[in-house]
Homo-oligomer: A and B are copies of this chain.
């Protein structure tokens, strides 16, 4: 069996760590793993399958030659600075940032939906936004069956969406509240206290009044589903949950919907668990989805405000489905195509 040299840029962040964990767990055929980190950061090495891997500094002229697949799990700026360099060094890049997602020559892929888009690329493949990816895992099977027209959604996004620092900030604020019964000005990641609060603003505002984070649902959804008239109105809200994002979705379809048909389409869809027995207190919850590969969908019902709509609630681990797992699944597809 052929093995590959895999590199990870930003392996000491929340997503990078998950990429390593998923590579090991799924036993991706690795000949050599190379890790690139921020210059000046203290993490000198990381463990992988019982071995110690040194962290190489991401200097101006990094040595990418010999790497088959390079996963970028850092900022969009880092991807912009180094991805083309990596491609010129012969790497295939899987980029977790938003830097190249909407570029025409870059496939934007959720393997369960559009693995075929991987057949033609120019060296860079983009991983979708986490909230979009989790929503589309449930929406795509419904779209195939009923043809989605538009979606109105609101998110419940966990603090780890802002990295490990987001978790740390929530923990510190909670601890202060419990021990000293006080609010805190100790805010670095979020603009306001997130403990015991919700923040209806993620990303940067655009002229439309939506944030860039919110518009990803429509923009990336159109590209991934190859559905140029798809419309999506999303409100992104941060909630004091450690890990796993949830999305409340109302979707209108062209074809006649029924809850029974929706259930039978979703049960057995890849990467989806239907958890939908509200009176038995079974519904998707972030606390249960954290650490799980599959996304959970429930509260499936006919939408009472659309002629032909379905409402549902979906929860998924954004570090896995929205990032690391999706990236490794892309690697697996690329290996199949070789």
A residues near B, CB below 8 A?
Answer: 150-154, 156, 174-175, 177-179, 183, 191-193, 196-201, 204-205, 208-211, 215, 218, 231-233, 235, 237, 239-242, 246, 248, 250, 259, 278-279, 281, 283-287, 298-306, 309, 311, 313
Contacts and interface: CB of A to CB of B under 8 A. Distances in A.
Specify which of A205, A209, A240, A278 lies most central, judged by the most chain B CB atoms within 10 Å of its CB.
A209
Chain multiplicity (copies): 2
Given A281-B191, A311-B233, A198 B305 contact: no
Contacts of A301: 208-210
A300 B209 CA distance: 7
Given A174-B174, A235-B313, 12 more contacts: A152-B306, A154-B235, A183-B287, A192-B281, A192-B287, A197-B241, A197-B287, A198-B239, A198-B241, A201-B278, A237-B248, A237-B313
Contacts of A304: 208, 210, 215, 218, 231-233
Given A152-B305, A250-B152, A250-B233, A286 B209 contact: no
A242 to B, nearest CB: 5
23 contacts: A151-B305, A152-B152, A156-B237, A175-B178, A178-B178, A192-B285, A198-B239, A198-B241, A199-B283, A201-B278, A201-B281, A201-B283, A205-B279, A208-B304, A209-B301, A210-B304, A218-B304, A231-B304, A231-B305, A235-B250, A235-B299, A235-B311, A237-B246
Nearest to A198: B156
